[in-house]
Amino acid sequence: MEKLIGRLNFILILLISIVNISCNDRGASKFRVTNDIEFDTIRSVKRHHIGGDSKNPYCDIRIEFVYPKTNKETELKSIQQFFIKSMFGSSFEELEPEQAIDAYVSNYFDNYSKDADTYRGTVTGMDELNALIPNIDIHDSEHAMNDMFYSYFESLSDSITFNQYDIISFQVKQSNSKGEPNSFYVSYSNYVLNLNTGNQIFEGDIFIAGYDIAMQNMIITALIEQNEVETLEDLEDIGYFGVREIVPNKNFLIDDKGITYTFNKGEYSAYQLDAPQIFIPYNVIRPLLRENTIISKLANL
């Protein structure tokens, strides 16, 4: 009986060892799923009236910043700085997240005040010309009401779209309005980071030469399918233009399924249309991928 139990224990240990070796072999050929990074969020909502008077026009700004927390590792600090640069611009990247937000808001208020001063000077100039030319009002009719400047609005936020396999993809969304008719605009900026190197991933890091022309038909086909039409002419009829020359625009996101391109309003579509998001799966673009890169490994999972 003791021999039987001993033999069973030996077999069980052997099986566990085989499973562990197998798992370790698989792990060595691939890479970890979970990225060891924590994120935090800062929200800020501010309003600034011209001259500090609540009766005057104003500018509003709303910010929601998702960023990686830092620890003692230098690489993680550089990743945080990359998030700050991508969100607010290169002039803010050396600041801490809270400082970057405060500085960006202050700069936004200053620019609004300068625009208001410029407008005020223009209105004054028009008044002086009107005084010199009787019976002719040369005011800009859209600005003439009470000689009041427009109110501005801006919203700035980012979101993590993929955070696995040593890759972070995130998107920065900026919307703003300068009060004038048809002045509202939304733009999307996409970024992909290689956590092994701490560097941004560009198209040249992913694809072989000639990929841009090879992907034209893929993008056109995806646009046709997403808009539920049949031809390029149908796309043009609903507000797209120049689609025959469309190529990858470097504004992409990566996940474990494929690559997604964002084409902002005005690139190949009219401003009244939503910004197209074009997803192309790995099984379609695999022949275009560079070998032995972090993305080719991801595509082969």
Give the chain's domain count.
3
Q: Which residues have a Cβ under 8 Å from the Cβ of 136 and sit 6 or more positions away?
A: 130
The residue among 161, 196, 231 that closes a domain is: 196
Note whether 56 and 138 are same-domain residues.
Answer: yes
Beta carbons of 185 and 175 less than 8 angstroms apart: yes
- Determine the pLDDT at residue 20: 45
- Determine the pLDDT at residue 32: 66
- Determine the pLDDT at residue 31: 56
Note whether 108 and 208 are same-domain residues.
Answer: no
- Quote the tokens at residue 28: 């060595």
Note whether 230 and 183 are same-domain residues.
Answer: no
- Determine the pLDDT at residue 146: 45
The reported pTM is 0.82
- Determine the pLDDT at residue 174: 98
Distance CA 75, CA 45 (A): 31
pLDDT < 70 stretches in the chain: 1-32, 71-75, 121-148
Q: Which residues have a Cβ under 8 Å from the Cβ of 129 and sit 6 or more positions away?
A: 138
Note whether 42 and 143 are same-domain residues.
Answer: yes
Q: What residue numbers bound the domain in which 166 lies?
A: 34-196
- Determine the pLDDT at residue 149: 84
Note whether 183 and 237 are same-domain residues.
Answer: no
Distance CA 42, CA 40 (A): 7
